[in-house]
Amino acid sequence: MKPLAPWAVPPLCKALPCHLCSLLGLGGIELATPTPGHIALQAPMTPEQYNMLQWEKDIEDRNRPMSDEELESMFPMDGYKILDLPASYVPIRTPACKLLAMPTLLGGTPLYTIPEEDRNQQYDVPKEAAGGLPMMKPEDYQYFGALLTETEGEEMTAEESKECKIMKLLLKVKNGTPPQRKTALRQLTDKARELGVRPLFNQILSLLMSPTLEDQERHLLVKVIDRVLYKLDELVRPFVHKILVVIEPLLIDEDYSACVEAHEIISNLSKAVRLATMIAAMRPDIDNVDEYVRNTTGRAFSVVASALGIPALLLFLKAVCQSKKSWQAMHTGIKIVQQIAILMGDENQKVRTVTALLLAALAEAAAPYGIASFDSMLKPLWKGNRSHRGKVLAAFLKAIGFIIPLMDAMYASYYTKEVMVILIREFQSPDEQMKKVVLNVVKQCVGTEGVEASYVRQEILPEFFRNFWVRRMALDCRNYQQLVDTTVEVANKVGVADVVG
């Protein structure tokens, strides 16, 4: 505690015992009961608390009282004199100033001495890193603490130098300003092979596992992984499983953008290391005893299938679904297959749209076989065709347009007549994307075996020509090629005379 100047000590305090001074509030200020704010500062801080503490520390440093030593260093030693207290001096005694703190026990606190003031103490405010690096948060010390002790003349090995450079770039990405972040991202991408796969992913993945990571920081680090994957390509094979452990939980995150990012990372990772490496990395998690791990692995496998194609995964998927050694593996295999059907009824409109487009791609890849595999999809598809509008409806129509050609003639005729009611209604849609989808579905349905020429001639042809063969549509460079192809398919079904006439 800072010693008081001689003129600041009241006479009463000199005359009274120490314990009475404490009871009167003249001593023991530093022993006051801590407030809830003081206790809260001992717990992990939120970003708002951290900024407030930094601001308070700055204000405290600017307004702290000057010590006797500092005053003596400012004023010359000669020409000044410390005056004695006037004989008439009486300390101020008001009720508001009587008890400024909680009184201590009579006789003082045993075995306790007030520590000396340390003006070099940091008070939980982070040190500033050299080299123009961004400010560190308290939770960043365990990842970037080495940057605070780094000295310019210190000799480092080549490996340590790479790790230090990666730390600086990641700190700029995580806490830096937009210009710093942009420059650091570019350097990490361009020098990914030079920095090395192991030093990069050891630090990036450990940061992503941090429980205090904010959503924006996680988004930036996932972006780093995405760009580094593009540059490293097949060199990331030793880290496939570690990357999946960090990224797979994002597939079931409540934040839609996090799900999209995870989907893109796993898709790019699959294309970089190919199917054999992905299966080898994910195979141990298929029959994991934890259902959470099995579910996230199933979702990840569905992303791999959509990225590399269902035919490449069919043999492995069939073996997993027929596994007799582990019911957990069979459970995961069925989850992979069911994932598409579940997503068809998802509450999020974007998820339903993407799922319908994925289903269309699967049906296109499976043609002309595989209708039995799509039986479970027909009900949610049909329900979606009748209840949706706009872009979601376009995706559902696209899916049904690829599934109808896989059906037997009798079923193809029935489903064509059912979906044609919706298609004819959408002939009048002003949306250019919807027009393209409608023209393509009409072409697919008309060209399917089992759809009769008389039905096309009577039900489709009049509305088709009335809405599409107009001057504006024929001159539209975006749709005229699709219009010509659909018209040719209609002519092949009903005959040239009906089309030309």
Say yes or no: do domains 159-343 and 369-501 share a fold: yes
Higher-pLDDT residue of 340 and 368 is 368
Q: Are 215 and 255 in contact (CB under 8 A)?
A: yes
Distance CA 455, CA 442 (A): 13
Q: How far apart are CA 353 and CA 393, in angstroms?
A: 8
Binning pLDDT at 50, 70 and 90, where does residue 410 land?
A: confident
Q: Which amino acid is at 426?
A: E
Q: Which of 300-314, 327-341, 454-468 has the highest mean pLDDT?
A: 454-468
Higher pLDDT, 4 or 79: 79
Q: Which CATH code, of 1.10.3720.10, 3.30.1490.190, 3.60.20.10, 1.25.10.10, is assigned to 159-343?
A: 1.25.10.10
Question: Looking at the predicted structure, is the pLDDT value of residue 456 above 50?
Answer: yes
**pLDDT on residue 17:** 46
Position 195 pLDDT exceeds 80: yes
User: How much of the chain is in helix, strand and coil states, percent to nearest 5?
Assistant: 70, 0, 30
Instruction: Pull the structure tokens for residue 351.
Output: 């998820």
CATH number among 1.25.10.10, 3.40.30.120, 1.20.1260.60, 3.40.630.10, domain 369-501: 1.25.10.10
Q: What is the mean pLDDT of residues 324-342?
A: 60
pLDDT for the residue numbered 143? 79
- Quickly state the pLDDT bin for 9 (edges 50, 70, 90): very low
Residue 290 has pLDDT above 80, yes or no: yes
The predicted model scores a pTM of 0.46
- pLDDT: is 95 or 163 the higher one? 163
Residue of 297, 242, 240, 324 whose CA lies nearest to 274: 240
Residue 464 CA to its chain's centroid (Å): 46
* Nearest in space to 213 (alpha carbons), one of 205, 148, 188: 205
CB distance 35 to 101 below 8 Å: no
More confident residue, 137 or 318: 137
Longest Cα–Cα distance of the chain, Å, equals 127
If pLDDT is split at 50, 70 and 90, which confidence band does 279 have?
Answer: confident
Q: What is the pLDDT of residue 341?
A: 54
**Which has more confidence, 153 or 44?**
44
Q: What is the pLDDT of residues 134-145, one digit of tens each?
A: 777 777 777 787
Distance CA 229, CA 137 (A): 28
**Across 30-39, 95-104, 370-379, 481-490, which has the greatest mean pLDDT?**
481-490
- Which residues are CB-neighbours of 171 under 8 A, at least 6 positions away? 129, 133, 134, 136, 140, 144, 147
pLDDT average, residue stretch 395-423: 85
pLDDT of residue 402 exceeding 80? yes
% of residues, the chain, pLDDT over 70: 73
* Structure confidence at residue 8 (pLDDT): 45
Cβ atoms of residues 193 and 235 within 8 Å? yes
d(CA 468, CA 153) in angstroms, rounded, equals 76
pLDDT of 114 > 60? The answer is yes
pLDDT per position as a tens digit, 214-260: 888 888 888 888 888 888 888 888 889 989 988 888 888 878 888 88
Lowest mean pLDDT: which of 153-167, 249-263, 333-347, 364-378? 333-347
Q: Average pLDDT for residues 378-382, to the nearest whole number?
A: 79
Please state the rounded mean pLDDT for residues 373-384: 77
pLDDT in the model for residue 96: 52
Contact between 163 and 204 (Cβ < 8 Å): no
Higher-scoring residue by pLDDT: 169, 386: 169
Question: What is the residue-averaged pLDDT of the chain?
Answer: 75
DSSP 390-413: HHHHHHHHHHHHHHGGGS-HHHHH
Q: What is the pLDDT of residue 378?
A: 79
- Domain-wise residue ranges, the chain: 6-41+48-98, 159-343, 369-501
